[in-house]
A and B are shown apart, each in its own frame.
Chain A
Amino acid sequence: MSATELPLSSEQIKANRNSKMTFTEWQVEDKRFYALLAVIGLFVLAAAIAFFYVEHYGHYVTGMNNQVVWGMPHVFAIFLIVAASGAANIGSLGTVFNKKEYQPLGRLSLVTAMALLLGGLAVLVLDLGHADRLIIAMTYYNFKSIFAWNIILYNGFLVIMAVYLWSMMDRRKWANEFYKPAGYLGFIWRFILTTGTGSIFGFLVARQYYDAAILAPLFIVASYVFGTAVFTLALVFLHKFSGKELGQSIQNRLRYTLALFIALVLFFELIRHATNLYATEHHGVEAYILSGGDKITWLFWVGQILLGSLLPLVLIWLPSLRNSQKALLSAAALAIFGGFSQLYVIIIGGQLYPVVLFPNATVESTFSDGEIATYSATLPEMVLGVGGVALSLLLIVVAVKVLRLLPERLFDE
């Protein structure tokens, strides 16, 4: 790095931000806004009903059982939580890496991140056997549990992002003093947060498909894919819905960020599976995931690899599709589908494969030992999961409507 490229001083950054950026609320007709709100609200309402239904009857109305203890709600919850960390990356690029092109999007990035985290946490909490005991989760801590740490990491993330956002938005000088420190802290916190989420599985010695340190970095790179994809869709939607122009250069930047991290996820997955395939003790679970032939295998090869990774890469890098917004949106949507497939394979697939009690033997029992378990999500689980996504979207659209989060102009100059 040459001397001229040294990070800008906080005064310079403030000057840049103040001189070039004007922010505005989401300029959309009231009628259209409330119609949108109503549609999203219906999904949130449906999720609330689903929650009370499961709360009233118990988890027997779900597809989850004593073999597959975490189901579809967890796929949604973890997707949203991991995506939250990635969505805040746009803010980090502007603050920590001084990328000026991203600075106008910082506010939206942080709000999207907070909204995604809240949506994910809502699903996670509402699926608990005792959601009513949330206060216990907040007051009783076992610090050897990565789950307990995650509670602190998630709450801390919300606080840091809120301060970070405030330091961006408040025009008073002393508020701006917090901009850089909050940005750096948020950047570091994101890494720790996603490491913690990946370690929920990485720290599990019991199951063949987990118990691997690589799950933490895998979740970190995946967070960039999920977060960038969700942010891209949200940004384009917010502009289209209000009939505003969105510049090509920012879309191209998002396009390449997405592609880079999709490639990195593929690399980490390759290493993870290759390591497993090398160790005889993991041959069983790898054979099940990669070639078992049931929906997990399809979700891995077709969902995650083909449609969720390779096709988006083609859409992004095919010269004839350069500057095509449709290609970018398709790539982002496919990457999200790939992300859900990936998490389904990890979370559900990892549980469907039996716990190994006796490694050199064939095992059977009346409790599914030695056999592939079964799981299919029931309607309340799906509705609860989709409701988490809807809650995130609801928070985003309300936030952009009432706060000045969107840059006045984002078209190329």
Chain B
Amino acid sequence: MSNLIDRYRRKFLGGLGITAGAVTLAPGILLREVQAKPDDEAVTNKVRWGMLIDTNKLPDGGDGMVAACKKEHGWGDDPHSSPTQQSQWVRKVTFKDKLTKHETSLPVMCQHCETAPCVDVCPTGASFKRADGIVLVDKHICIGCRYCMMACPYKARSFVHEKLENQKPHSPRGIGTVESCTLCVHKIDKGEQPACIEAAPPKAAVFGDLNDPESTISKALAKHGAQQIRADLGLNTGVRYWGI
């Protein structure tokens, strides 16, 4: 009997110890909003990834974010393609209001629409939306028809015009297929943030789960609202902006 009590006691104390240890040693890990997903676990629609970009806090208009994306995925310097044939996963767009002359710059990439036109028009289903809201291209079944590029209101997609070598293992690109911002899905699945978010100035860009009311991004959106590019199209984009 006493043996049994001892066993219970040991178990209880042990559990307490592990909890205390976890709280003191690794609070950052437990409080992280973006959690690593085990590879054998399916993506669910419980989360919807999104980002919020404050254009007022981007002194370079997003150049740094563009450069970080380029470095992460290795697009933009294909040796044979002309400047208009180069891929452009994200670009800095500057617009000046015709009346007020107010000028704003912002990075524009795939807006990860809830009802994405590129997904609708793709004949084979290569252009698809993952359960967690990330819009991607399955390069194994993309036939290179470019209809998605015709359909994207943000001109976010590019076509690979030549054979490529030395690609990034985490971001394969292929001749004759269409590509675009993946929201750095390879990093998200490891519990990291997209490269552009990491490169953005402090507080200029937030990444997180739009479905979680307690996430930083959801709280910021609930408090201050935000704008979508071409909101008139009703696409419910996953990328939102302040200051446009």
Partner-B contacts on A (CB < 8 A): 57-60, 64-67, 69-70, 128-131, 133-134, 136-137, 140-142, 144-148, 151, 200, 203-207, 351, 355-358, 360-370, 373-374
Contact = CB atoms under 8 A, between A and B. Distances in A.
Given A59-B159, A148-B124, A362-B98, A129 B177 contact: yes
A368 B108 CA distance: 13
A133 B160 CA distance: 16
A66 B142 contact: no
Interface residues of B, number: 57
Given A60-B161, A141-B123, A205 B177 contact: no
Given A130-B144, A205-B117, A367-B155, 17 more contacts: A60-B85, A66-B85, A69-B146, A129-B142, A129-B146, A133-B144, A142-B125, A144-B121, A145-B123, A200-B147, A203-B121, A205-B151, A206-B150, A362-B98, A364-B95, A365-B94, A367-B88
Contacts of B80: 57-58, 60
B150 A204 contact: yes
B91 A366 contact: yes
Given A205-B117, A369-B93, A145 B98 contact: no
A347 B89 CA distance: 24
Contact of A137 (B88, B123, B158, B244): B123
A357 to B, nearest CB: 6
A147 B145 CA distance: 10
A66 B88 CA distance: 9
Contacts of B162: 57-60
Given A142-B125, A357-B108, A65 B84 contact: yes
B163 A141 contact: no
Contact of B233 (A129, A140, A205, A362): A205
Given A57-B162, A145-B147, A129 B155 contact: no
Interface string B201-212: 000000000000
Given A66-B159, A361-B97, A130 B143 contact: yes
Contacts of B34: none
B81 interface: yes
Contacts of A364: 93-95
Contacts of A206: 117, 150-153
A129 B147 contact: no
A147 B91 contact: no
Interface in B50-105: 78, 80-82, 84-88, 91-99
Contacts of A136: 124, 141, 143
Interface centre among B92, B97, B119, B146 (most CB of A within 10 A): B146
Contacts of B145: 128-129, 147
Nearest 4 CB-CB pairings of A with B = A129-B144, A129-B176, A65-B84, A58-B162
18 contacts: A60-B82, A66-B84, A66-B88, A67-B84, A67-B155, A128-B143, A129-B143, A130-B143, A137-B123, A142-B125, A145-B122, A146-B121, A200-B147, A203-B121, A205-B153, A357-B230, A362-B95, A365-B94
Contacts of A368: 84
Contacts of A69: 146, 149-150, 159
Nearest to A62: B161
Given A59-B176, A133-B143, A145-B122, A365 B93 contact: yes
Nearest to B229: A357
Contacts of B87: 66
Contacts of B163: 57-58
A70 B146 contact: yes
Nearest to B178: A129
A207 B143 CA distance: 22
B120 interface: yes
B95 to A, nearest CB: 4
A114 B88 CA distance: 40
B175 interface: yes
B154 A129 contact: no
A142 B152 contact: no
A373 B176 contact: no
Contacts of A131: 143
A370 B108 CA distance: 14
A366 to B, nearest CB: 6
Contact of A357 (B82, B95, B96): B95
Contacts of B178: 129
